[in-house]
């Protein structure tokens, strides 16, 4: 699997956008189109559901050399040996953590030596700075534009993307409402990595849509 710094396109298997398709079908299409990371996002499902889904998708992503990301559920990532876990502000800082080292399990749960990389969400410069200080392996910057995946959260606008480009040295991904129509503005603001949810999952051909995003992103 390529290093995080060389990853450019972050795709999603999001239960809100299945549209009659199976998680496996979506995952394979994202891999075929060139996603570098694929996150299981299931806000309304249980941890057990996420685990069962992840156990089906991990062989697909591993075979494709793609990193599978478990959203929210660190215990699931540990149980199945997923390479990455993504946590929101509420899952980490608001839960009382300040350093990623505090997450390492003392109980020995999971696969020895395979503690996942951890990504943290951020919605403002001070949150990004705090995530860097905590030791985040990567940071999500957004939502750049209004998005249905984060209803009620105000867009951070391209100003935050410009700040991230000027100040962050750890890998970071712009996220939120990014489409092929506004992608150029995000790249012009300094982003080199993006997360894309609905613009890919709402397309009729996920592989083609994924490949088009990947083609337009800068190469490592």
Domain boundaries, the chain: 4-106+120-213
Max distance between CA atoms of the chain, in angstroms, equals 48
Please, what's the b/e burial string for 129-168 (b: 16 or more CB within 10 A of its CB; e: otherwise)? Answer: ebbbebebbbbbbbbbbebebbeeeebbebebbebbeeeb
Question: What average pLDDT score do residues 165-174 get?
Answer: 98
Structure confidence by residue, pLDDT tens digits, 47-90: 999 999 999 999 999 999 999 999 999 999 999 999 999 999 98
pLDDT digit string, tens, across residues 176-205: 999 999 999 999 999 999 999 999 999 999
Distances (CA, A) of 179 to 2, 29, 70: 25, 18, 23
For residue 111, pLDDT over 60 is answered with no
- The CATH code of the domain at 4-106+120-213 is 3.20.20.70
**Is residue 95 classed as helix, strand or coil in its secondary structure?**
helix
Judged against a pLDDT cut of 50, whether residue 40 lies above it is answered with yes
pTM value is 0.94
């Amino acid at each position: 699997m390529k290093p995080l710094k060389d990853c450019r396109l972050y795709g999603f298997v999001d239960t809100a956008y299945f549209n009659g398709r199976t998680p496996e079908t979506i995952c394979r299409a994202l891999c075929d189109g060139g996603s570098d990371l694929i996150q299981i996002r299931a806000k309304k499902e249980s941890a057990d559901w996420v685990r069962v889904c992840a156990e089906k998708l991990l062989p697909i992503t591993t075979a494709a050399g793609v990193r599978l990301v478990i959203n929210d559920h660190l215990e699931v990532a540990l149980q199945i040996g997923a390479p990455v876990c993504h946590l929101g502000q509420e899952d980490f800082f608001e839960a009382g953590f300040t350093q990623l080292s505090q997450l390492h399990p003392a109980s020995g749960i999971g696969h020895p030596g395979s503690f996942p990389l951890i990504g943290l969400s951020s919605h403002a410069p001070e949150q990004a700075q705090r995530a860097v200080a905590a030791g985040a392996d990567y940071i999500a910057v957004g939502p750049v534009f209004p998005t249905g995946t984060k209803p009620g959260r105000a867009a951070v606008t391209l100003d935050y993307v410009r700040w991230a480009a000027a100040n962050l040295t750890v890998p970071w991904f712009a996220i939120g409402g990014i489409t092929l129509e506004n992608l150029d503005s995000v790249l012009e603001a300094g982003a080199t990595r993006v997360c894309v949810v609905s613009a890919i999952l709402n397309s009729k051909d996920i592989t083609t849509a994924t490949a088009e995003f990947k083609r337009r992103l800068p190469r490592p």
